[in-house]
Amino acid sequence: MKLEIIDVKVNPLRDEEIKDIVNIERHPLVKKWLVEYADESFEKELEEYTRFFNSLRDNNRVDVLVAKIDGNIAGFLALWRMDDNEHVASIGVSTHPDYWGKGVATNLIKESIKLAKKKGIGKLIIETLEENSVMRHVAEKLGFKLEEIRKKKIFKDGDYHDEVVYSLKL
Protein backbone atom coordinates (compact mmCIF):
# COMPACT_ATOMS: atom_id res chain seq x y z
CA MET A 1 0.00 0.00 0.00
CA LYS A 2 1.50 3.31 -1.09
CA LEU A 3 0.06 6.40 0.60
CA GLU A 4 0.90 9.80 -0.87
CA ILE A 5 -0.29 13.23 0.26
CA ILE A 6 -0.69 15.83 -2.48
CA ASP A 7 -0.99 19.60 -2.15
CA VAL A 8 -3.68 20.45 -4.68
CA LYS A 9 -2.41 24.02 -5.12
CA VAL A 10 0.87 22.56 -6.37
CA ASN A 11 -0.56 19.56 -8.26
CA PRO A 12 -4.11 20.33 -9.46
CA LEU A 13 -6.67 17.54 -9.61
CA ARG A 14 -7.88 16.01 -12.86
CA ASP A 15 -11.63 16.13 -13.62
CA GLU A 16 -12.01 12.46 -12.70
CA GLU A 17 -10.33 13.12 -9.36
CA ILE A 18 -12.69 15.99 -8.56
CA LYS A 19 -15.52 13.50 -9.15
CA ASP A 20 -13.89 11.14 -6.65
CA ILE A 21 -13.83 13.92 -4.04
CA VAL A 22 -17.53 14.64 -4.58
CA ASN A 23 -18.26 10.92 -4.23
CA ILE A 24 -16.47 10.85 -0.87
CA GLU A 25 -18.49 13.81 0.43
CA ARG A 26 -21.75 12.26 -0.78
CA HIS A 27 -21.08 8.79 0.61
CA PRO A 28 -23.84 8.11 3.21
CA LEU A 29 -21.32 6.90 5.83
CA VAL A 30 -19.35 10.15 5.45
CA LYS A 31 -22.33 12.49 5.14
CA LYS A 32 -23.68 11.08 8.40
CA TRP A 33 -20.86 12.83 10.24
CA LEU A 34 -20.67 16.10 8.35
CA VAL A 35 -21.98 19.19 10.08
CA GLU A 36 -22.44 21.14 6.88
CA TYR A 37 -23.26 19.63 3.55
CA ALA A 38 -25.20 20.68 0.51
CA ASP A 39 -28.26 18.61 -0.22
CA GLU A 40 -28.19 18.91 -3.99
CA SER A 41 -27.81 16.80 -7.12
CA PHE A 42 -24.51 15.14 -7.98
CA GLU A 43 -24.21 17.29 -11.13
CA LYS A 44 -24.76 20.55 -9.22
CA GLU A 45 -22.28 19.59 -6.51
CA LEU A 46 -19.70 18.49 -9.09
CA GLU A 47 -20.10 21.83 -10.87
CA GLU A 48 -19.46 23.69 -7.59
CA TYR A 49 -16.46 21.57 -6.66
CA THR A 50 -15.00 21.96 -10.16
CA ARG A 51 -15.34 25.73 -9.89
CA PHE A 52 -13.78 25.64 -6.41
CA PHE A 53 -10.79 23.51 -7.48
CA ASN A 54 -10.26 25.48 -10.69
CA SER A 55 -9.89 28.73 -8.74
CA LEU A 56 -8.03 27.21 -5.78
CA ARG A 57 -4.64 28.71 -6.68
CA ASP A 58 -6.08 32.24 -6.35
CA ASN A 59 -7.90 31.48 -3.11
CA ASN A 60 -5.74 32.44 -0.17
CA ARG A 61 -8.35 31.44 2.41
CA VAL A 62 -8.03 27.72 1.81
CA ASP A 63 -5.53 24.93 1.11
CA VAL A 64 -6.46 21.38 0.14
CA LEU A 65 -4.50 18.18 0.62
CA VAL A 66 -5.48 14.92 -1.04
CA ALA A 67 -4.47 11.42 0.03
CA LYS A 68 -3.91 8.77 -2.62
CA ILE A 69 -3.52 5.08 -1.94
CA ASP A 70 -1.94 3.20 -4.80
CA GLY A 71 -2.90 6.11 -7.04
CA ASN A 72 -6.59 6.20 -5.99
CA ILE A 73 -8.10 9.13 -4.11
CA ALA A 74 -8.70 7.88 -0.56
CA GLY A 75 -9.42 11.11 1.30
CA PHE A 76 -8.91 14.84 1.48
CA LEU A 77 -8.47 17.69 3.89
CA ALA A 78 -9.34 21.39 3.63
CA LEU A 79 -7.58 23.98 5.75
CA TRP A 80 -9.79 27.06 6.01
CA ARG A 81 -8.55 30.37 7.44
CA MET A 82 -11.09 31.73 9.93
CA ASP A 83 -12.95 34.84 8.75
CA ASP A 84 -12.07 36.84 11.84
CA ASN A 85 -8.44 35.67 12.21
CA GLU A 86 -6.31 34.48 9.32
CA HIS A 87 -3.73 33.03 11.73
CA VAL A 88 -6.26 30.44 12.84
CA ALA A 89 -7.35 27.69 10.45
CA SER A 90 -10.06 25.08 10.70
CA ILE A 91 -9.55 21.53 9.44
CA GLY A 92 -12.20 19.54 7.62
CA VAL A 93 -11.23 15.99 6.68
CA SER A 94 -12.96 13.00 5.09
CA THR A 95 -11.75 9.53 4.12
CA HIS A 96 -13.63 7.23 1.77
CA PRO A 97 -15.09 4.38 3.89
CA ASP A 98 -13.20 1.82 1.75
CA TYR A 99 -10.00 3.24 3.26
CA TRP A 100 -11.04 3.87 6.87
CA GLY A 101 -8.56 2.82 9.53
CA LYS A 102 -5.51 2.92 7.28
CA GLY A 103 -4.02 6.14 8.61
CA VAL A 104 -5.33 8.39 5.83
CA ALA A 105 -6.78 11.11 8.09
CA THR A 106 -3.82 10.87 10.48
CA ASN A 107 -1.38 11.46 7.64
CA LEU A 108 -3.47 14.23 6.09
CA ILE A 109 -3.62 16.09 9.39
CA LYS A 110 0.11 15.60 10.06
CA GLU A 111 0.86 17.07 6.63
CA SER A 112 -1.58 19.94 7.21
CA ILE A 113 0.27 20.80 10.42
CA LYS A 114 3.52 21.16 8.42
CA LEU A 115 1.77 23.20 5.72
CA ALA A 116 0.08 25.46 8.28
CA LYS A 117 3.41 26.17 10.00
CA LYS A 118 4.96 27.05 6.62
CA LYS A 119 2.08 29.47 5.97
CA GLY A 120 2.42 31.23 9.32
CA ILE A 121 -0.77 29.84 10.85
CA GLY A 122 -0.51 29.87 14.65
CA LYS A 123 -3.42 27.66 15.63
CA LEU A 124 -5.45 24.83 14.11
CA ILE A 125 -8.93 23.86 15.14
CA ILE A 126 -11.13 20.83 14.52
CA GLU A 127 -14.87 21.16 15.08
CA THR A 128 -16.84 17.93 15.08
CA LEU A 129 -19.95 16.26 16.48
CA GLU A 130 -19.52 15.23 20.11
CA GLU A 131 -20.32 11.61 19.20
CA ASN A 132 -17.66 11.43 16.44
CA SER A 133 -15.33 9.24 18.47
CA VAL A 134 -13.08 8.38 15.51
CA MET A 135 -12.40 12.02 14.65
CA ARG A 136 -11.90 12.83 18.33
CA HIS A 137 -9.45 9.95 18.72
CA VAL A 138 -7.40 11.10 15.71
CA ALA A 139 -7.36 14.72 16.97
CA GLU A 140 -6.30 13.68 20.48
CA LYS A 141 -3.65 11.29 19.14
CA LEU A 142 -2.08 14.17 17.21
CA GLY A 143 -1.93 16.45 20.26
CA PHE A 144 -5.08 18.52 19.79
CA LYS A 145 -6.66 19.61 23.07
CA LEU A 146 -10.38 19.82 23.80
CA GLU A 147 -11.10 23.55 23.94
CA GLU A 148 -14.86 23.81 24.06
CA ILE A 149 -18.09 21.83 24.06
CA ARG A 150 -20.89 23.71 22.31
CA LYS A 151 -24.08 22.31 23.75
CA LYS A 152 -26.87 21.54 21.27
CA LYS A 153 -25.07 23.58 18.60
CA ILE A 154 -25.81 21.35 15.61
CA PHE A 155 -29.27 20.58 14.31
CA LYS A 156 -28.95 17.40 12.29
CA ASP A 157 -31.30 14.58 11.34
CA GLY A 158 -34.13 16.03 13.41
CA ASP A 159 -32.20 16.51 16.64
CA TYR A 160 -29.79 18.88 18.39
CA HIS A 161 -26.23 17.58 18.88
CA ASP A 162 -23.30 18.88 20.91
CA GLU A 163 -20.25 20.03 18.98
CA VAL A 164 -16.71 19.70 20.32
CA VAL A 165 -13.84 22.02 19.40
CA TYR A 166 -10.26 20.81 19.50
CA SER A 167 -7.26 23.07 19.04
CA LEU A 168 -3.55 22.78 18.46
CA LYS A 169 -1.15 25.67 18.98
CA LEU A 170 1.65 25.61 16.39
DSSP for 47-86, please give it: HHHHHHHHTGGG-TTEEEEEEEETTEEEEEEEEEEETTEE
Contact region for ligand COA (CB under 6 A) — 52-60, 112-120, 131-139, 149-157? Answer: 131-139
Going residue by residue from 38 to 77, which x/- string records binding to ligand COA, judged by CB under 6 A?
Answer: -------------------------------------x--
Going residue by residue from 103 to 122, which x/- string records binding to ligand COA, judged by CB under 6 A?
Answer: xxxx----------------
Q: In this structure, how many other beta carbons lie within 10 angstroms of the beta carbon of residue 83?
A: 8
Cα–Cα distance for residue pair 113/135, rounded to 1 Å: 16
Cα–Cα distance for residue pair 68/107, rounded to 1 Å: 11
Q: Nearer to ligand COA by C-beta: 13 or 75? A: 75
Helix (H, G, I), strand (E, B) or coil at 144: coil
Selected from 134, 143, 150, 160, the binder of ligand COA by CB under 6 A is 134
CA 79 to each of CA 14, 39, 96, 124, 159: distance values in angstroms, whole numbers, following the listed order: 20, 22, 18, 9, 28
Going residue by residue from 140 to 159, which x/- string records binding to ligand COA, judged by CB under 6 A?
Answer: -x------------------
Residues that bind ligand COA (CB under 6 A): 30, 33-34, 75, 92-95, 100-106, 126, 128, 132-135, 137-138, 141
